[in-house]
Amino acid sequence: FFHLCLIPLFIILVLLSHAAPCVQVFPPVNFTLTVSALAQVLLHWKPNPAQEQNNSTIRYDVRILSPVPEEYDTKRTHSVRTAALHNGFSACVRTLLLQEGLQISSDWVKGELPPLPGAAETSVTNLSCVTHVTIPGNVSLHCTWLPGQGAPEDTKYFLFYRYETHTEECHSYIKDEWNRNIECRFSSTQIKPGEIDKLIVIHINGSSKRAAIKPFQQLFNQNAIEKVNVPRNISISLEQNDLLATWEKPISPFNKECFEYEFYLINLKSGNKQILKISSNSFRLRIDVTSRYSVRMRANHNHICCARGFWSDWSEVISVGQNKLENSITWVFTLLCVFVFCTFLLVAIICKINHLWSRLFPPIPMPSNKFRDLFPVDYERARTCTSSTETEVSSLAEGVPCSILEDSVF
């Protein structure tokens, strides 16, 4: 029985003794981490000189531990990674031997970059950035941040962006009440507007007489921080009971399949609001034809071509349709006004005539004098007007026509 038990053990020992000489896998040597650009690290190692390579494939397993865990394997002996390095960087690498369908790995070797130096809480916080494709096709960049809680009042922050191999410092800052930079604008950058998922690296360091300012780095997907342009050439029309809308995609290197739109419709009569999500460049909507509508639109990337960005601004408001009810009320009101005014005028004229009539008839029974007597009344009034504004009238009345009047009357 005891001997039977030993059989499997014996088999294992035989296998091991047989396998051991062929399965010598040594870890790589001289593993180094080098900062090759802002927020970029070059991982580099050498094959172990003791490693025999006959008839086997050698690969390397790379495991990034921080700041963002990641694992991959490569045939090469170097690798470039983009990562925020302000809190340090650490990674491991090991040799992988692939022989006759068998995969054998070595021990890990570890490499580390220390955190960037600086006092706690002096780094900027709440960094946010927005890009925008300007009309000539350039990309602008705008970033805002808050000074660290522990940053002295004399802290001066400096912002750098890196895109591919291009690194540039900001020269146009906006300051807070302590004169610390808290905002930066690049009106034109080397960012290529048509690229997909490329990273924009932001690096903000600083200086102060009272403390070492710890740098801060953040990576942004260029598509995810793009504020999309407003849709163009929006045209709205009415066709029977339908509202028809057509428009052009915003200014962008992406084609029209890459956009979606929000259509904001307000019924001005009922006050009802509707937001419609639309993925084409036109649409038709049944509306209440007795109402007037106000329409606005905005655009964003859909997820088909690239990451969603920030919604564009709303377009200018376009009004369409007519408020039939409101219009008829206005119409009736206007008619009423005109009618009241006319009536009033008529009454006034009748009163005036009646008054004259009553004044004219009793003293002068002869109808032939009726029209002549009208003039002295007017003439007297003209002459008695002495205010400066009416001097022209009185002077006119006192001039030639006056004498003619006098002649004709008397």
Cis peptide before 67 (omega within 30 of 0): yes
Question: Which one, 138 or 294, has the nearer CB to ligand NAG?
Answer: 138
- CA-based nearest residue to 158, from 171, 148, 149, 146: 171
* Single residue of 11, 14, 18, 46 touching ligand NAG by CB under 6 A: 46
Q: Does 110 bind ligand NAG (CB under 6 A)?
A: no
Least distance from C-beta 118 to ligand NAG, angstroms? 9
Question: Which one, 53 or 387, has the nearer CB to ligand NAG?
Answer: 53
Give the residue carrying structure tokens 């007017």. 378
- Mapping DSSP to helix (H, G, I), strand (E, B) and coil, where does residue 174 land? strand
Structure tokens that stand for 149 in this block: 């809680």
Which stretch in 50-58, 285-293, 339-347, 367-375 sits in contact with ligand NAG by CB under 6 A?
50-58
C-alpha triplet 53, 57, 62: angle, nearest 5°: 110
Instruction: Write down the number of H helices and E strands in the chain.
Output: 5, 23
Residues 192-211 that bind ligand NAG (CB under 6 A): 205, 207
CA–CA gap between residue 253 and residue 226 (Å, rounded): 13
Residues 136-175 that bind ligand NAG (CB under 6 A): 136, 138, 146, 158, 160
Q: Does 233 bind ligand NAG (CB under 6 A)?
A: yes
Neighbours of 268 (CB within 10 A): 15
Residues 244-263 that bind ligand NAG (CB under 6 A): 248
Least distance from C-beta 217 to ligand NAG, angstroms? 10
- CA-based nearest residue to 206, from 146, 162, 292: 146
Least distance from C-beta 30 to ligand NAG, angstroms? 4
Binding mask 262-301 for ligand NAG (x = CB under 6 A): ----------------------------------------
Which stretch in 6-14, 52-60, 237-245, 305-313 sits in contact with ligand NAG by CB under 6 A?
52-60
Q: Does 37 bind ligand NAG (CB under 6 A)?
A: no
Phi-psi category of 245—alpha, beta or left, where left has phi over 0 and alpha has psi -120 to 50?
A: beta
Question: Which one, 127 or 268, has the nearer CB to ligand NAG?
Answer: 127
Question: Which one, 25 or 91, has the nearer CB to ligand NAG?
Answer: 25
Give the residue carrying structure tokens 């007519």. 322
Contact present, 102 and 68 (Cβ < 8 Å): no
CA–CA gap between residue 194 and residue 255 (Å, rounded): 10
CA–CA gap between residue 369 and residue 357 (Å, rounded): 13
Least distance from C-beta 206 to ligand NAG, angstroms? 6
Residues forming contacts to ligand NAG in the complex (CB under 6 A) are 22, 29-30, 38, 46, 49, 52, 54-55, 125-126, 136, 138, 146, 158, 160, 187-188, 205, 207, 232-233, 248
